[in-house]
């Protein structure tokens, strides 16, 4: 034994916590090196190893950040320790040599010491650590050992030495943490491959399956720690360039095994012990890594989809959730586990097909509950998840949508100013790109626009992941009038946007063009187009862009020259749906349609080209999916087509997708063609039929115009004067009655058929089958109440059930002819039509004349005793009473009448309640301005639900 070494070790043992670096530790270390060199020169290896072991064990008593100080870390003592570790590692890996007990403990302790030291890597000492640890011989020996472990399971029963190997891998993992330039060092790159090989070996899953739920052990053994913690942790913290290479390898080998592991352990989740939780935490950490990038996620989305239900089970496990919410039971390891689960589901949700699967699991309440987590990172990721999965209706039901906006704004501020958070900024911006309209408004109110502008303009931010994404969010904001005003008045930003038009980065160029288009150019372009259309004096030609309702009503219309269509069809689509859209385009081209589609959708057509394509296309196909709704470029296209009153045909691209928000508004009242639900051929034929029907109806209307039917000339000399029409109306007008019975309500089924035949309305016969006069009268009332909806419904029924087409001119003539036979008034009409100075409309006047002279008829408002009558089943009384109480609080006069509803009516009432609650709010807000509120609802048979179609104040 060396006396000098013993004395110095004793001193460290007594004063290690307070010992100083300059005056004491360096001197002690100098003595250690001198004495060790003397022993080594004497070639007494046993004594050398024993004294070295004594020194190493003593060093654990020194506060770690002291010997990792740069002035001490480059001491020769650490070189000696590293070199001896290499010698022992080399001896251990040889088959014909075995480490004795002293060698094993020294090997173990040096590995543990190096692992502890790397907890204190910083910018001041990282280069010294690099020269110490990135030793070519050391890394090669580690690689050889890892290869043996993964290939043959060698060393798995050699616990102490395997533990030392785990320590040196941990030291290397901590040393390169967040250091991308070091992670991509060629010496370490090949080491990463061997760690991946261990993780993908059968040994990993075998060791995992050996875990026992009933075990009382609260710590993994050495082999379990190596496979289930050390190797996964090395990969989880790797952020270098090799991710694109290693993630597919892990996905290929591990995903199927993951499903096996989940099926074994998830059913036992209520009994998970600490060991299983730790192993699961690292496993799901690997899953969130390999799903982080689209390029590595997309090829394996089917495998990932099978894991979703298992991860959601973990997120709903109350025994685990309690440990991340309650202060008394808080468990950091469980918090990490839940955090990895949330991030994994979030990354999966960025893949459209996987998002649908997640949404179908009804996970909204799951993530609402998790927003109560104590960990701020987990809380924020829950809000990111909610931003994706919430529907527009969910957002409207939020008690405080401002809270979500506030969380995003707070994190955005921090990510802009905190260098450690800049890496999070791209993902944060991705979350903001998919916000809903109500949350966008809250972001505007919280001045998030100024933060986004900062992201777009500061050169320190990445051009694509930050600047371009921020600009796309700003583009989405331009659809909000308040945001558009803010942006227009920011001269610095507008100047920056103009400068980006000459950017070499195509993405920046395109989004800048979109912003300038919305803020400056779109309105000017529309004016130019209107001027082009309004050529020729006193021109009377039907505007091709009029809606069916406008054409049918034949109200006074500014007549425009028919545009010359360059294309039959313009296809507006998301790049994520390109395969199906390209197939539709190719089929249309085969059928000789002229089709405009931007195949370079990502950075292709300019906004002017898009507008031109819409202006000069007869039809615009909107290819609806969640990706379409989230794209600001798609929103620009759909919004422009809607504003220009183009004939829009909505196509569903993804199974079970239903539009909401801005997209739902644009396509409301239209029949969707569902390509996933129908097979491609059937859906395509339905599309062609829709096109043909519209063209047939349009030709019929043009022919009617040519024959002088329904439309009158707009020449000044022939225009109808309102006063002259009023003078022609006698005080009492008697309706002319035809040869049919006086009133339609008295007709038999045979009379109905005769009427339809005599009036050449045979196309309506299948729709009116088995109807008597009363039923036909009710059908007429429905048509009058909501012209568009009833036409679309009738057309669809006739096509799908009877394989016949319902031209719009037939539908219009049906209403016009039947109008002559409806009752003059019922009891309610008589009550309303009393009072002096009342004018009654001459039924012989044309609809056009009536429209031109409106308002002619003056009717007294009925006196309503109640605002609302509620009809309900006694079984539903609790909810109905609650609705009634709330209405009474809001000063509505309510009559409730209970009756026993059958099961069908009960289901209808339940479906109708959601619409009723929205209408109550609308009525309450506008009651001061309007006497009455009339609304119409369409039954959507496909979705077994109701859709609000019209809201009319009178």
Express each pLDDT in 436-467 by its tens digit: 778 888 889 989 999 999 999 998 888 988 99
**pLDDT number for residue 288:** 94
Phi, psi of 618 (to 5 degrees): -70, -35
- How far apart (Å, rounded) are the C-alpha atoms in residues 449 and 408? 12
**pLDDT number for residue 949:** 47
- How far apart (Å, rounded) are the C-alpha atoms in residues 779 and 914? 26
- How far apart (Å, rounded) are the C-alpha atoms in residues 454 and 431? 17
Q: Which residues pair with 572 in a beta bridge?
A: 622
127, part of any domain: no
Per-residue confidence band for 853, with pLDDT thresholds at 50, 70 and 90: very low
Query: Does residue 289 carry a pLDDT above 70?
Result: yes
Note whether 695 and 796 are same-domain residues: no
Query: Does residue 813 carry a pLDDT above 80?
Result: yes
Q: If you search the block for the tokens 């949330």, which residue do you land on?
A: 342
553, part of any domain: no
Note whether 749 and 691 are same-domain residues: no
Q: Are 574 and 628 in contact (CB under 8 A)?
A: yes
DSSP track, 138-178 = HHHHHHHHHHHHHHH-TTTT-HHHHHHHHHHHHHHHHHTTT
Could you tell me how many residues make up the chain?
Answer: 954
The DSSP H or E segment spanning 667 is none
Q: Are 876 and 909 in contact (CB under 8 A)?
A: yes
The structural domain count of the chain equals 4
Note whether 753 and 869 are same-domain residues: no
What CATH number corresponds to the domain at position 422? 1.25.10.10
Tell me which of 916 and 819 has the higher pLDDT. 819
Q: What is the dihedral of CA 332, 123, 467, 405, to 10 degrees?
A: 30
In angstroms, what CA-CA distances link 564 with 615, 616, 630, 643, 693? 9, 7, 32, 19, 20
Q: Which ranges in 458-596 belong to alpha helices (H)?
A: 469-477, 481-488, 491-499, 506-516, 522-533, 548-553, 578-590
Express each pLDDT in 52-100 by its tens digit: 999 999 998 888 778 788 888 989 999 999 999 999 999 988 865 688 8
Note whether 596 and 654 are same-domain residues: yes
Note whether 433 and 499 are same-domain residues: yes
558, part of any domain: no
Express each pLDDT in 357-391 by its tens digit: 998 888 988 998 998 898 888 988 898 888 888 87
Note whether 418 and 466 are same-domain residues: yes
Euclidean distance between the first and the last CA atom of the chain, given in angstroms as a whole number: 105
Rounded average pLDDT over 479-506: 91
832, part of any domain: no
795, part of any domain: yes
DSSP 3-state assignment of 326? Answer: coil
Note whether 584 and 460 are same-domain residues: no
Note whether 511 and 628 are same-domain residues: no
In angstroms, what CA-CA distances link 522 with 515, 596, 598, 693? 10, 20, 20, 32
3-state helix, strand, coil in the chain (%, to 5): 65, 5, 30
Give which of 89, 87, 82 is closest to 134, Cα–Cα.
82
- How far apart (Å, rounded) are the C-alpha atoms in residues 46 and 474? 71
Note whether 510 and 610 are same-domain residues: no
Exposed / middle / buried, residue 705 (Cβ in 10 Å: 0-12, 13-18, 19+): middle
Q: If you search the block for the tokens 């807000």, which residue do you land on?
A: 925
Range in 193-207, 490-504, 931-945 with the lowest mean pLDDT: 931-945
CB neighbours of 541 closer than 8 A, spacing ≥ 6? 559, 560, 561, 562, 705
**pLDDT number for residue 599:** 76
Rounded average pLDDT over 501-509: 89
CB neighbours of 155 closer than 8 A, spacing ≥ 6? 92, 145, 148, 149, 161, 162, 165
- How far apart (Å, rounded) are the C-alpha atoms in residues 180 and 200? 24
Express each pLDDT in 562-604 by its tens digit: 457 889 999 999 988 999 999 999 999 999 999 999 876 445 5
Note whether 523 and 577 are same-domain residues: no
Query: What average pLDDT does the structure give for the chain?
Result: 80
Phi-psi label, residue 870: left if phi above 0, alpha if psi -120 to 50, beta otherwise:
beta
Most confident residue range from 365-369, 385-389, 873-877, 889-893: 365-369
DSSP 3-state assignment of 624? Answer: strand
Calculate what percentage of the chain has a pLDDT beyond 70. Answer: 80
**pLDDT number for residue 760:** 84
| HSE, side-chain direction, 13 A CA sphere, residue 829 | 7
610, part of any domain: yes
202, part of any domain: no
Give which of 522, 541, 554 is closest to 643, Cα–Cα.
522
Q: Which of 671, 699, 727 is the last residue of a domain?
A: 699
- How far apart (Å, rounded) are the C-alpha atoms in residues 142 and 114? 15
Note whether 466 and 405 are same-domain residues: yes
Model confidence, pTM: 0.65
Host domain of residue 769 = 744-821
Note whether 669 and 618 are same-domain residues: yes
What CATH number corresponds to the domain at position 627? 3.40.50.10140
**pLDDT number for residue 829:** 44
656, part of any domain: yes
The DSSP H or E segment spanning 529 is helix 522-533
Q: If you search the block for the tokens 């989004």, which residue do you land on?
A: 511
DSSP track, 337-385 = HHHHHHHHHHHHHTSHHHHHHHHTT--HHHHHHHTT-SSHHHHHHHHHH
In angstroms, what CA-CA distances link 159 with 51, 108, 162, 227? 24, 10, 5, 13
**pLDDT number for residue 720:** 34
The two structure tokens encoding residue 419: 């260098």
**pLDDT number for residue 702:** 62
**pLDDT number for residue 425:** 85
Rounded average pLDDT over 458-480: 90
| HSE, side-chain direction, 13 A CA sphere, residue 353 | 14
Q: Are 58 and 51 in contact (CB under 8 A)?
A: no
Rounded average pLDDT over 800-828: 75
């Amino acid at each position: 034994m060396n006396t000098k070494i013993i004395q110095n070790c004793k001193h460290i043992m007594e004063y290690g916590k307070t010992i100083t670096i300059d005056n004491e530790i360096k001197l002690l270390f100098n003595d250690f090196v001198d004495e060790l060199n003397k022993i080594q020169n004497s070639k007494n290896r046993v004594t050398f190893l024993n004294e070295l072991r004594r020194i190493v064990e003593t060093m654990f008593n020194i506060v770690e950040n002291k010997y990792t100080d740069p002035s001490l870390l480059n001491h020769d003592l650490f070189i000696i320790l590293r070199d001896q570790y290499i010698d022992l590692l080399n001896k251990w890996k040889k088959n014909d040599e075995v480490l004795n007990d002293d060698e094993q403990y020294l090997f173990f302790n040096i590995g543990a010491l190096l692992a502890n030291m790397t907890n204190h890597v910083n910018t001041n000492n990282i280069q010294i650590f690099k020269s110490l640890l990135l030793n070519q011989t050391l890394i090669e020996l580690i690689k050889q050992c890892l290869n043996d472990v993964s290939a043959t399971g060698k060393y798995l029963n050699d616990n102490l030495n395997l533990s030392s190997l785990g320590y040196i891998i941990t030291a290397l993992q901590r040393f390169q943490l967040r250091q991308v330039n070091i992670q991509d060092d060629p010496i370490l790159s090949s080491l990463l491959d061997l760690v991946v090989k261990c993780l993908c070996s059968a040994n990993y899953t075998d060791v995992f399956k050996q875990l026992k739920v009933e075990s009382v052990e609260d710590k993994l053994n050495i082999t379990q720690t190596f496979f289930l913690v050390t190797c996964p942790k090395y990969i989880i913290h790797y952020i270098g360039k090799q991710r694109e290479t290693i993630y597919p390898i892990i996905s290929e080998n591990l995903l199927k095994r993951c499903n096996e592991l989940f099926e074994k352990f998830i059913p036992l989740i209520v009994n998970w012990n600490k060991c299983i939780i730790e192993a699961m935490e690292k496993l799901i950490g690997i899953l969130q890594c390999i799903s982080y990038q689209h390029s590595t996620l997309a090829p394996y989305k089917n495998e990932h989809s099978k894991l979703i239900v298992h991860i959601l089970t973990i997120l709903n496990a109350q025994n685990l959730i309690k440990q991340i919410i309650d202060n008394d039971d808080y468990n950091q390891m469980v918090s990490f586990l839940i955090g990895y689960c949330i991030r994994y589901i979030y990354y999966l949700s960025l893949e459209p097909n996987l998002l649908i699967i997640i949404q179908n699991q009804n996970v909204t309440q799951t993530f609402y509950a998790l927003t109560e987590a104590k960990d701020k990172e987990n809380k924020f990721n829950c809000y990111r998840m909610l931003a994706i999965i919430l529907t527009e209706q969910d957002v409207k039901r939020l008690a405080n949508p401002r809270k979500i906006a506030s969380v995003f704004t707070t994190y955005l501020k921090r990510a802009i100013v905190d260098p450690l958070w800049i890496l999070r900024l791209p993902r944060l911006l991705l979350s903001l790109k998919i916000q809903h309209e109500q949350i966008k408004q809250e972001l505007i109110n919280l001045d998030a626009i100024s933060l986004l502008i900062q992201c777009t303009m500061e050169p320190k931010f990445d051009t694509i992941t930050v600047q371009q994404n921020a600009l796309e969010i700003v583009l989405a904001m331009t659809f909000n009038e308040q945001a558009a005003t803010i942006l227009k008045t920011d001269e610095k930003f507008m100047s920056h946007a103009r400068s980006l038009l000459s950017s070499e980065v195509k993405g920046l160029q395109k989004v800048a063009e979109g912003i300038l288009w919305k803020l400056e150019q779109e309105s000017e372009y529309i004016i130019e187009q209107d001027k082009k259309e309004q050529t020729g004096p006193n021109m009377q030609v039907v505007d091709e862009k009029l809606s069916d309702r406008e054409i049918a009503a034949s109200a006074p219309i500014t007549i425009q020259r028919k545009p010359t269509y360059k294309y039959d069809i313009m296809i507006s689509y998301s790049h994520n749906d390109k395969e199906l859209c390209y197939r539709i385009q190719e089929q249309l081209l085969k059928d000789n349609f002229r089709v405009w589609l931007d195949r370079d959708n990502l950075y292709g057509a300019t906004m002017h080209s898009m507008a031109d394509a819409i202006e000069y296309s007869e039809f615009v196909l909107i290819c609806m999916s969640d990706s379409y709704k989230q794209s600001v470029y798609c929103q620009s296209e759909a919004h422009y087509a809607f504003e220009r009153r183009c004939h829009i045909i909505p196509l569903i691209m993804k199974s079970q997708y239903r539009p909401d928000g801005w997209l739902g508004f644009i396509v409301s009242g239209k029949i969707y063609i569902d390509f996933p639900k129908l097979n491609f051929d059937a859906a395509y034929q339905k599309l062609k039929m829709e096109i043909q029907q519209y063209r047939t109806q349009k030709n019929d209307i043009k022919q009617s115009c040519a024959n002088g039917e329904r439309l009158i000339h707009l020449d000044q000399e022939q225009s109808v004067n309102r006063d002259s029409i009023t003078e022609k109306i006698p005080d009492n007008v008697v309706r002319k009655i035809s040869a049919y019975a006086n009133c339609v309500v008295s007709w038999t089924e045979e009379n109905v058929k005769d009427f339809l035949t005599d009036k050449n309305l045979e196309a309506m016969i299948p729709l009116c089958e088995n109807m008597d006069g009363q039923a036909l009268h009710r059908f007429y009332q429905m048509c009058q109440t909501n012209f568009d909806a009833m036409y679309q419904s009738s057309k669809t029924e006739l096509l799908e059930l009877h394989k016949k087409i319902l031209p719009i001119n037939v539908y219009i003539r049906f209403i016009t002819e039947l109008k002559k036979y409806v009752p003059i008034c019922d009891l309610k009409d008589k009550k309303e039509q009393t009072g002096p100075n009342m004018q009654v409309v001459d039924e012989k006047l044309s609809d056009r004349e009536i429209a031109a002279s409106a308002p002619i008829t003056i009717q007294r408002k009925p006196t309503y005793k109640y605002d609302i009558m509620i009809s309900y089943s006694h079984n539903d009384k609790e909810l109905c009473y609650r609705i009634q109480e709330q209405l009474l609080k809001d000063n509505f006069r309510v009559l409730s009448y209970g009756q026993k509803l059958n099961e069908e009516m009960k289901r209808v009432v339940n479906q109708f309640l959601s619409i009723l609650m929205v209408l109550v709010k609308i009525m309450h807000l506008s009651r001061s301005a309007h006497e009455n509120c009339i609304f119409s609802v369409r039954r959507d048979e496909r979705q077994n639900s109701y859709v609000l179609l019209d809201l009319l104040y009178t």
